[in-house]
């Protein structure tokens, strides 16, 4: 079973400690969220730092809000991160949905899906070493991964799932129950088949967790409430926080049972001792 860790964002100074300890553990991936108008570290800069401090574990955005980014610069940044990490980078990517993020970036909220489609064509072209556009040469460096880093799409809308088949290598689910996630996994597989892709998409599930003393769990709940305050679903997300070894093991097994290739455990408090506690619970 591949189990990754979603990194807390409440204390960026702790992330190097998290990365080094996780690299020495059985966990497969370190994930980091992306927001603009929020108190979180910028993910590509941060993951490049963490990749340089580790040798084994993969690094992943979950998910990078691509429409907020300049496409040519994003192509260069992601190729650079993949090259620096020796091919250990996964680009989890999506459209986002916060109006304030779009306003700050100068992006049209209502065109972000179409913009992402346009961006993916350019990203794939650039990663292949082809000219970026008419009158514009190639943008290096060439990624370590042939054709570019692994791309996992996040989202709920039919268009998001369609992108898995059109552009992606797999689907990155949100922190939702296995009963709900199963339908999204099947839809991602259907999109894959529709576009005559060989094999099957990689399917990744997520769960929100906090494992430790009361102050760790309380801090995780506060951070979770703060992050999801805009959504109107704070109580639902807080109720879904897994806080015991049994709950976490049961959820991981359930996600694997619906076809997950990897389960990301998103940690909402910066207590790095959670790494050892989670490893003891799962491996």
pLDDT by residue for the chain (283 residues), tens digit each? 899 999 999 999 999 999 999 999 999 999 999 999 999 999 999 999 999 999 999 999 999 999 999 999 999 999 999 999 999 999 999 999 999 999 999 999 999 999 999 999 999 999 999 999 999 999 999 999 999 999 999 999 999 999 999 999 999 999 999 999 999 999 999 999 999 999 999 999 999 999 999 999 999 999 999 998 887 778 888 889 999 999 999 999 999 999 999 999 999 999 999 999 999 999 9
Report the C-alpha gap between 19 and 21 in whole angstroms.
6
Q: Give the DSSP H/E element, type plus range, for residue 35.
A: none
User: Is 153 in contact with 163 (CB distance < 8 Å)?
Assistant: yes
Nearest to 188 by CA among 177, 2, 134, 199: 199
Q: What distances in angstroms separate CA 255 from CA 2, 97, 122, one per listed residue?
A: 11, 26, 33
E strand map for the chain: 2-6, 29-32, 58-65, 89-94, 131-133, 136-138, 150-153, 170-172, 202-209, 262-267
Structure tokens at 210: 């906090």
pTM: 0.97
Q: What pLDDT is attached to residue 138?
A: 97
Report the C-alpha gap between 48 and 87 in whole angstroms.
12
pLDDT in tens, 30-50: 999 999 999 999 999 999 999
Q: What pLDDT is attached to residue 170?
A: 99
Superfamily of domain 2-282: Luciferase-like domain (3.20.20.30)
Report the C-alpha gap between 49 and 15 in whole angstroms.
9
Any idea what the Cα angle at residue 227 is, between residues 222 and 233, rounded to 5°?
A: 95
Where do the domains of the chain lie? 2-282
Nearest to 5 by CA among 78, 55, 23: 23
Any idea what the Cα angle at residue 30 is, between residues 93 and 179, rounded to 5°?
A: 65
Nearest to 97 by CA among 68, 137, 57: 68
State the virtual CA torsion across 86, 93, 77, 133 in degrees, nearest 10. 120
* Burial class of 164 by CB neighbour count within 10 A (0 to 12, 13 to 18, 19+): buried
Residue identified by tokens 């109720």 is: 239
Structure tokens at 281: 């619970």
| Pairing relationship of beta strands 89-94 and 58-65 according to DSSP bridges | parallel
| Pairing relationship of beta strands 131-133 and 136-138 according to DSSP bridges | antiparallel
Q: What pLDDT is attached to residue 102?
A: 97
Q: What pLDDT is attached to residue 235?
A: 83
Nearest to 79 by CA among 108, 44, 28: 44
């Amino acid at each position: 079973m591949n189990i990754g860790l979603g990194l807390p964002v409440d204390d960026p100074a702790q992330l190097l400690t998290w990365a080094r300890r996780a690299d020495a553990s059985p966990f497969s991936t370190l994930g980091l969220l992306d927001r603009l108008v929020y108190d979180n570290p910028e993910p590509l800069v941060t993951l490049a730092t963490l990749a340089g401090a580790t040798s084994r574990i993969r690094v992943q955005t979950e998910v990078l809000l691509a429409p907020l980014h300049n496409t040519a610069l994003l192509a260069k940044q992601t190729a650079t991160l993949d090259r620096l990490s020796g091919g250990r980078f996964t680009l989890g990517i999506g459209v986002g949905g916060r109006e304030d993020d779009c306003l700050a970036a100068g992006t049209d909220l209502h065109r972000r899906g179409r913009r992402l489609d346009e961006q993916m064509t350019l990203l794939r072209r650039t990663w292949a070493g082809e000219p970026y556009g008419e009158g514009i040469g190639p943008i290096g460096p060439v990624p370590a991964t042939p054709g570019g880093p692994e791309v996992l799409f996040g989202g709920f809308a039919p268009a998001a799932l369609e992108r898995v088949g059109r552009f992606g290598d797999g689907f990155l689910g949100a922190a939702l129950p296995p009963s709900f996630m199963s339908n999204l996994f099947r839809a991602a597989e259907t999109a894959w088949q529709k576009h005559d892709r060989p094999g099957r998409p990689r399917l990744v599930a997520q769960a929100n967790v906090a494992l430790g003393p009361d102050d760790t769990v309380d801090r995780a709940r506060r951070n979770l409430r703060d992050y999801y305050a805009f959504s109107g679903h704070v109580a639902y997300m807080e109720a879904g926080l897994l806080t015991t070894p049994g709950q976490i093991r049961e959820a991981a097994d359930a996600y694997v049972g619906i076809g997950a290739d990897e389960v990301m455990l998103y940690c909402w408090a910066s207590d790095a001792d959670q790494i050892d506690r989670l490893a003891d619970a799962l491996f």
